[in-house]
């Protein structure tokens, strides 16, 4: 029996010997796309667009040069990608038009805030336009999934295909070999060309002068090429990937497990809190509509209006976060929609948002009537109007789930920002405050605040130079003194043109006589001192009298015999 077992043992297979072998990991295959002569032409055009963006757009101050360079880049993109068999829908067309409008708005304003908004809107609508031309985002653009789609389209997709155009270019039979040959020829010619340039410059003075002028601006030119190359390196993979790679729709999928009972109970409690608050504070809320403070109310107009506004903004923001969460996570009914009870309570919360918004707007209107306009007051009023639009879109989406509320919200928000940018907030503020002061609506005019605004306020501030009120007139002249000196000294290129600055310069030239007289009198009344130890002339100071002067650097008064001698 033992012999039989021993004979059977060699026939038993070992588990280690019979285990299947793990197949080696296949090598990563890089995507290669064919490069045509048309692609090479557009590669060169995109390189020119990147250089124009750097040289005309960024260096020239984000004004006319920025608008010009973006229009060129937009046209090249539209022709290069738009030849595909995809018809641009209305949203894509609107995004393209808004991106162009955002770029053009930079020529109309020198307000740093709205210039920042202009750059952001240009990039946002450009990405949406490119995605629309390639067929991406048809579903994700209709909801909050637009955030995921924008991130994937602008960053993830670009990084995944970062080396794809360069690999395709190197593997191309038509361009790869020729490109390497051209590169070798250019590199080999550099030292020979350098020797020839030195010899030619020594032989002729005119050529030497030309070389000197070129080398003077050579460093700035190299810097411009470097930054243009950075723009091109990121721009080309983005465009090339969208033209050739497979388009994807990044639609977010939410796990809708929130029971309707929980949602209804939560929203009902929230509505009860709002009803009790409105009932107990009825006088506080609706007295603002009558333009009077509540009886016995000890706060000032500013405290009354400001307190109500920030409270309402905080409540409205929290309400929208809650409503969006409930709409995304609530369980659907048998018909596939949000239960009617949840819809009703969501509409009730939106109604409270509208009430809070109208209350805050009435408080802000009271604040503006009493104290005039500022940037913060005007922009917050516009923000409250946007809240009403968002509440209306949310209610429509509740009853019509297929309604593309996100597309509508993006278009409305973009149009609102661009409209404010073209109208120019600072011009509106200066015009309103001066008009309110002249009509007696506000008691004081803060000329210093108007001077702190952008150049859009200068034409209205310049009109005060001829005012009958000498205090206001002198204050306006003093505020415009530095702006007037800069406008006479500065020289701008064509691509630095800004309509707001142009109007400001024209207004200053119109009142040049009053400003020249004021500056001459101001400088004549100042005293010039010299440091006896350094022998250098000191800055000009304002004097209280002949024996004392005020040093603007140290913010202190000094006797005329102390530290400085009169010259």
Residue-wise pLDDT for 128-185, tens only, equals 999 888 877 777 777 777 878 888 888 888 888 888 888 887 777 555 556 566 667 7
Contact 230, 53 (CB under 8 A): no
At 429 the pLDDT is 93
At 535 the pLDDT is 41
At 431 the pLDDT is 93
Contact 420, 108 (CB under 8 A): no
Angle at 49 between CA 45 and CA 51, to 5 degrees: 115
Phi-psi group of 543: left, alpha or beta (phi > 0 → left; psi -120 to 50 → alpha; rest → beta): beta
Q: From CA 537, how far away is CA 56, in angstroms rounded?
A: 40
Sorted by sequence, the CB contacts under 8 Å of residue 89 that are 6+ apart come out as 132
Q: Cβ-count burial of 127 within 10 angstroms (0-12 exposed, 13-18 middle, 19+ buried)?
A: buried
Residue of higher predicted confidence among 319 and 15: 319
| Range of 275-279, 415-419, 518-522, 524-528 with top mean pLDDT | 415-419
At 566 the pLDDT is 35
Instruction: List, for residues 344-398, the tens digit of each pLDDT value.
Output: 999 999 998 888 888 778 878 888 888 888 888 888 888 888 888 888 998 998 8
At 116 the pLDDT is 93
Pick the range with the lowest mean pLDDT from 11-25, 58-72, 475-489, 538-552: 538-552
pTM of the complete model: 0.78
Q: From CA 240, how far away is CA 550, in angstroms rounded?
A: 63
Torsion of CA 74, 75, 76, 81, to 10 degrees: 80
At 430 the pLDDT is 93
Pick the range with the lowest mean pLDDT from 257-271, 330-344, 435-449: 330-344
Q: From CA 460, how far away is CA 180, in angstroms rounded?
A: 61
- 205-216 vs 176-203: helix crossing angle, rounded to 10: 130
At 115 the pLDDT is 92
At 149 the pLDDT is 81
At 28 the pLDDT is 63
Phi-psi group of 550: left, alpha or beta (phi > 0 → left; psi -120 to 50 → alpha; rest → beta): beta
Instruction: Please state, rounded to an integer, the average pLDDT across all residues of the chain.
Output: 78
- Say yes or no to pLDDT of 562 above 50: no
What is the total residue count of the chain?
A: 567
Query: Could you tell me the pLDDT band of residue 77, with boundaries at 50, 70 and 90?
Result: very high
- Say yes or no to pLDDT of 533 above 70: no
Query: Could you tell me the pLDDT band of residue 565, with boundaries at 50, 70 and 90?
Result: very low
Residue of higher predicted confidence among 565 and 74: 74
Instruction: List, for residues 231-261, the tens digit of each pLDDT value.
Output: 888 888 888 888 887 666 666 666 777 888 8
Residue of higher predicted confidence among 355 and 288: 355
At 289 the pLDDT is 45
Residue of higher predicted confidence among 376 and 529: 376
Contact 40, 175 (CB under 8 A): yes
How much of the chain exceeds pLDDT 70, in percent? Answer: 76
Rounded to the nearest angstrom, the gap between the alpha carbon of residue 263 and the centroid of all alpha carbons in its chain is 37
- Say yes or no to pLDDT of 5 above 60: no
At 319 the pLDDT is 87
Q: Are strands 565-566 and 556-559 parallel, antiparallel or unpaired?
A: unpaired
Query: Region 512-536: what's the mean pLDDT?
Result: 66
At 537 the pLDDT is 40
Query: Region 315-323: what's the mean pLDDT?
Result: 84
The DSSP H or E segment spanning 543 is strand 537-545
At 291 the pLDDT is 44
Which alpha helices (H) appear in 372-404, and where do they start and end? 375-399
At 290 the pLDDT is 44
């Amino acid at each position: 029996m033992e012999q039989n077992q021993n004979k059977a043992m060699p026939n038993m297979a070992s588990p280690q010997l019979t285990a299947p072998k793990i197949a080696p990991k296949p090598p990563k295959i890089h995507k290669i796309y064919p490069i045509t002569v048309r692609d090479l032409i557009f590669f060169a055009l995109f390189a020119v667009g990147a250089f124009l963006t750097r040289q005309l757009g960024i260096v020239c101050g984000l004004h006319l040069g920025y608008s010009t360079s973006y229009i060129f880049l937009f046209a090249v993109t539209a022709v290069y990608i738009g030849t595909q068999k995809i018809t641009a829908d209305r949203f894509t067309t609107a995004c393209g038009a808004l991106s162009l409008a955002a770029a053009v708005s930079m020529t109309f304003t020198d307000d740093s805030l709205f210039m920042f908004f202009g750059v952001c809107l240009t990039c946002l609508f450009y990405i949406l336009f490119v995605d629309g031309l390639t067929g991406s985002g048809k579903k994700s653009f209709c909801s909050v999934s637009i955030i995921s789609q924008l991130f994937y389209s602008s960053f993830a997709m670009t990084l995944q295909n970062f080396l794809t155009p360069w690999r395709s270019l190197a593997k191309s039979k038509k361009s790869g070999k020729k490109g390497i040959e051209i590169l070798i020829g250019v590199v080999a010619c550099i030292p020979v060309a350098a020797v020839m340039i030195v010899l030619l410059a020594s032989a002729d003075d005119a050529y030497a002068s030309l070389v000197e002028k070129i080398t003077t601006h050579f460093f700035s030119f190299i810097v411009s090429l470097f930054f243009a190359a950075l723009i091109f390196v990121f721009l080309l993979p983005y465009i090339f990937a969208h033209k050739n790679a497979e388009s994807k729709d990044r639609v977010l999928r939410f796990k809708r497990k929130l029971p309707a009972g929980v949602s209804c109970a939560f929203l009902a409690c929230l509505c009860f809190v709002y009803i009790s608050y409105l009932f107990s504070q009825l006088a506080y809320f609706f007295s603002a509509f009558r333009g009077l403070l509540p009886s016995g109310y000890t706060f000032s107009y500013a405290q009354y209006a400001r307190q109500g506004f920030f409270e309402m903004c905080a409540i409205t923001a929290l309400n929208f976060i809650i409503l969006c969460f409930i709409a995304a996570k609530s369980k659907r009914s048998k018909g596939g929609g949000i239960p009617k009870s949840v819809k009703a309570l969501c509409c009730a919360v939106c109604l409270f948002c509208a009430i809070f918004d109208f209350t805050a707007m009435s408080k802000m209107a009271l604040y503006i009537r009493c104290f005039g306009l500022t940037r913060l007051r005007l922009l917050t009023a516009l923000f409250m109007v946007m809240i009403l639009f968002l509440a209306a879109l949310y209610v429509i989406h509740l009853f019509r789930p297929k309604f593309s509320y996100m597309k509508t919200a993006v278009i409305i928000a973009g149009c609102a920002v661009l409209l404010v940018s073209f109208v120019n907030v600072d011009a509106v503020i200066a015009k309103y405050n001066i008009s309110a002061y002249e009509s007696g609506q506000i008691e004081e005019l803060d000329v210093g605040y108007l001077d702190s605004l952008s150049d859009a306020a200068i034409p209205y501030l310049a009109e005060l130079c001829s005012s009958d009120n000498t205090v206001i007139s002198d204050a306006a002249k003093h505020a415009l003194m530095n702006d007037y000196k800069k406008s006479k000294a500065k020289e701008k290129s064509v691509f630095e043109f800004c309509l707001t600055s142009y109007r400001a310069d024209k207004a200053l030239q119109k009142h040049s006589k009053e400003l020249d007289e004021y500056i001459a009198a101001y400088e004549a009344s100042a005293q010039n001192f010299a440091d006896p130890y350094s022998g250098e002339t000191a800055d000009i100071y304002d004097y209280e009298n002949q024996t004392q002067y005020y040093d603007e650097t140290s913010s202190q008064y000094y006797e005329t015999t102390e530290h400085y001698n009169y010259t």
